[in-house]
Structures are given as structure tokens and as C-alpha cells.
């Protein structure tokens, strides 16, 4: 569902930019879409390694991966927050 909502947000932001020419709409749209490559290239490899870990074999390496995984999701949340801020600036420009 997240991917679909990101795509809808991107498309609506791109349409708003196309109709108004306000560049911050495009910035917000691109930030909305930035979650996809971030998730696939940065978060997914860490998540895959965590999912492959046998619970009985979990140890300091697993803890290290978990500590890495949490901030990566925080950065993904930052993309959404910056997108909202960009959209708010774009709306206030009109």
C-alpha cells in the first residue's frame, strides 16, 4: 500500500507542477518517490540479512544489523516529511 500511495503522491505532485509551474510541487513529488529506491537499495539488503538469521544463531552481528535498520527507516520517514513540507511551500506560493 505504501508504494501505491507514494506513486499517487508523485503523480499528483507532478500534475500540480505541470499545471502551475511551481517547482516545489515537483520537488515534493520526487521526494515522495525517493522512498522506492531507498527501500530497495538500502533497507532491503539489511532486512534480507535479518530475515535470513536463524533465531538461535542471533548474536552481536544481528544486534548490529538491527541498530543499523532503525535509522534507515527514520531516513525514509524523512523523505515523506520533506515531501510534505515541499508541498506546503508550493501551496502557499499560489
Q: Using alpha carbons, select from 76, 69, 71 the residue that is nearest to residue 3.
A: 76
Query: How far, CA to CA in Å, does 59 sit from each of 15, 51, 91?
Result: 49, 14, 49
Report pLDDT for 54: 80
Domain borders along the chain are 2-93
Q: Tens-of-pLDDT digits for all 94 residues of the chain?
A: 778 888 999 999 999 999 999 999 999 999 999 988 988 999 999 989 888 888 777 788 888 888 888 898 888 889 999 999 999 999 998 6
User: 6: exposed, middle or buried (C-beta count within 10 Å: 0-12, 13-18, 19+)?
Assistant: buried
Amino acid at each position: 500500500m505504501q508504494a501505491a500511495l507514494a506513486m499517487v503522491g508523485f503523480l499528483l505532485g507532478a500534475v500540480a507542477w505541470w499545471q502551475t509551474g511551481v517547482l516545489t510541487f515537483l520537488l515534493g513529488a520526487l521526494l515522495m518517490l525517493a522512498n522506492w529506491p531507498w527501500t530497495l537499495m538500502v533497507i532491503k539488503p539489511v532486512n534480507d540479512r535479518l530475515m535470513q538469521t536463524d533465531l538461535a544463531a542471533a548474536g552481536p552481528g544481528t544486534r548490529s544489523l538491527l541498530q543499523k535498520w532503525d535509522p534507515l527507516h527514520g531516513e525514509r520517514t524523512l523523505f515523506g516529511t520533506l515531501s510534505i513540507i515541499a508541498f506546503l511551500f508550493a501551496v502557499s506560493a499560489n
